[in-house]
Structure 1
């Protein structure tokens, strides 16, 4: 099994709880309160470790909330490398309304990161020891859009496979630099990247293959929610429909997908098998409430269903 490191430039403390009904002005009593370390790379590491892999977390952390995040990571027994910043680590809130069965998600932009803190982060990561570096999540205010492209350009000469899950200008700048092992945009993120709607599976597949053909990434996995997912790579495209399940929370579904797919790639599986296991991971995540993530037993069961075993 190859090793991974994850990078979370804009981590969160994920707070989740349930209320009977959301009503403005009124005080609403919460139930089933949970706290978890969050942000793309951290979530990927949590699932990767659940699957028996080894992951080292690199993340920015600052202020009193940063100290709390450090403690939550220790509770999850994750190997962590804290990159200190001055700004306060953000808190994201997920509220489940029992009356309607709907989720409400509140996500702040995160702290402002200085130029010096960005440089410190790049210098530290240039020495990372791993086979895969998974950079996942948004860039906080102050970090230039080309940050992930800069990071990849420093790691590629050392033979480190760089996996990316981000959106907006950061995704565009990264793909312009090219050379990623895997990128995982959602359908909406891919539509923003190409500047047009992608109404059909064929449209999604063509846009993803264009990234592969241009050298942006060797593999592109596009998650499409309840519509399924598309994989584009050297052998063409593959579409998998979603598995119908009763969703409890959408939090961390994309991160669980990515963790499961990278786990199989790190185990030596081919791209198609890894993609199918990624689908199982993303589906398993929606079965868990609040900020919990995919569980191995659910992933294995769903993978057997996808593979037709």
Structure 2
């Protein structure tokens, strides 16, 4: 299997805590404090490597928090290419309130990136050596909305297949540039893209097939949270309902889905089996609170619960 590359333009240091109850004004004592490297592409790489693959993370990092992110990535044994920026890497928090079982998530906008800094990122990507590049997550302030399209052009010149998991104008520009192996929006992100309500699985499937019909992507996988997921391809669409499991956290479920599906595709699995494996990975990610993402044993267990699909 070829190696994977991931691009994270707006990474995070993900911090998770448990508290008895969230109350304003009062000092709230936390427990089970955990730190992890985060952001779309880094999360994808973490799960992909757990599944036995090789991955290199390309990411921007700077300020006092940049070296801390580097250290966390090293602890997870990920190969990395850091593009230095001046402003600090953001720190995101997930707080689990034990009294209610609800999770509160706080995610900063991220640093402002200078023009020469995002140009340096494109230069680094021009040297990428991988079979597939996953471009995932939001673009920080200062980065042009067509950045993924520009980066994708460099990848296509090198014969590298592209996966995009983003939102808003960045996602629209990447799709418009075309040549994508896989696009993985959430239901809300696809709805924002098309500009009208997608309140049923059939509506989601129809919108996803419009992207396939345009020739811009080979596969479109739309995650719908507790409603399941839809896969669109030239042969048509497939819907899988969500597994009936108790969700402890939503952190990294979509990233785990991407990692599972891409890993299966790169192992030679067919598109439907890869979709099922992505569903299993996404489901595995929500089993535990915090930023742990999906683990292979849980993915295997979830995969056995997903019904086989007659393609």
Which TM bucket (shorter chain)? Answer: over 0.9
Aligned to 2:232: 232
How many correspondences in the alignment? 309
Measured after TM superposition, the shift of residue 85 of structure 1 is: 0.6
* Counterpart-to-counterpart distance in 1, 2:139 and 2:154: 18
Give the secondary-structure state (helix, strand or coil) at the position aligned to 1:193: helix
Deviations 1:135-177 (A, max 9, x none): 1100000000000001111111221001010000101111111
Per mean C-alpha deviation after superposition, the further-off stretch among 224-233 and 169-178 is: 169-178
Measured after TM superposition, the shift of residue 207 of structure 1 is: 0.3
Give the secondary-structure state (helix, strand or coil) at the position aligned to 1:208: helix
* Counterpart-to-counterpart distance in 1, 2:269 and 2:304: 15
Aligned to 2:198: 198
* Counterpart-to-counterpart distance in 2, 1:239 and 1:307: 11
* Counterpart-to-counterpart distance in 1, 2:301 and 2:136: 26
* Counterpart-to-counterpart distance in 1, 2:199 and 2:154: 37
Aligned to 2:110: 110
Measured after TM superposition, the shift of residue 216 of structure 1 is: 2.1
Aligned to 1:27: 27
Give the secondary-structure state (helix, strand or coil) at the position aligned to 1:91: strand
Give the secondary-structure state (helix, strand or coil) at the position aligned to 1:256: helix
1:85 aligns with 2:94: no
* Counterpart-to-counterpart distance in 2, 1:154 and 1:258: 21
Matches within 5 A, 1:138-177: 138-177=138-177
Deviations 1:79-100 (A, max 9, x none): 1111101110000000010111
TM-score (norm 1): 0.99
Aligned to 1:38: 38
Matches within 5 A, 1:45-64: 45-64=45-64
Deviations 1:87-133 (A, max 9, x none): 10000000010111101000001000011111110111011000000
* Counterpart-to-counterpart distance in 2, 1:141 and 1:23: 32
* Counterpart-to-counterpart distance in 2, 1:307 and 1:76: 33
* Counterpart-to-counterpart distance in 2, 1:235 and 1:171: 24
Flag structure 2 segments of 5+ consecutive residues without an equivalent. none
Matches within 5 A, 1:252-271: 252-271=252-271
Give the conservation status (yes or no) of the 8 Å contact 2:96–2:289.
no
Flag structure 1 segments of 5+ consecutive residues without an equivalent. none
* Counterpart-to-counterpart distance in 1, 2:18 and 2:210: 43
Measured after TM superposition, the shift of residue 308 of structure 1 is: 5.0
Measured after TM superposition, the shift of residue 2 of structure 1 is: 2.0
TM-score (norm 2): 0.98
Deviations 1:204-245 (A, max 9, x none): 001001011112211000000000000001111000000010
* Counterpart-to-counterpart distance in 2, 1:151 and 1:235: 29
Matches within 5 A, 1:63-78: 63-78=63-78
* Counterpart-to-counterpart distance in 2, 1:289 and 1:22: 16
* Counterpart-to-counterpart distance in 2, 1:23 and 1:194: 39
Aligned to 1:241: 241
Aligned to 1:123: 123
Give the secondary-structure state (helix, strand or coil) at the position aligned to 1:64: coil
* Counterpart-to-counterpart distance in 1, 2:19 and 2:286: 19
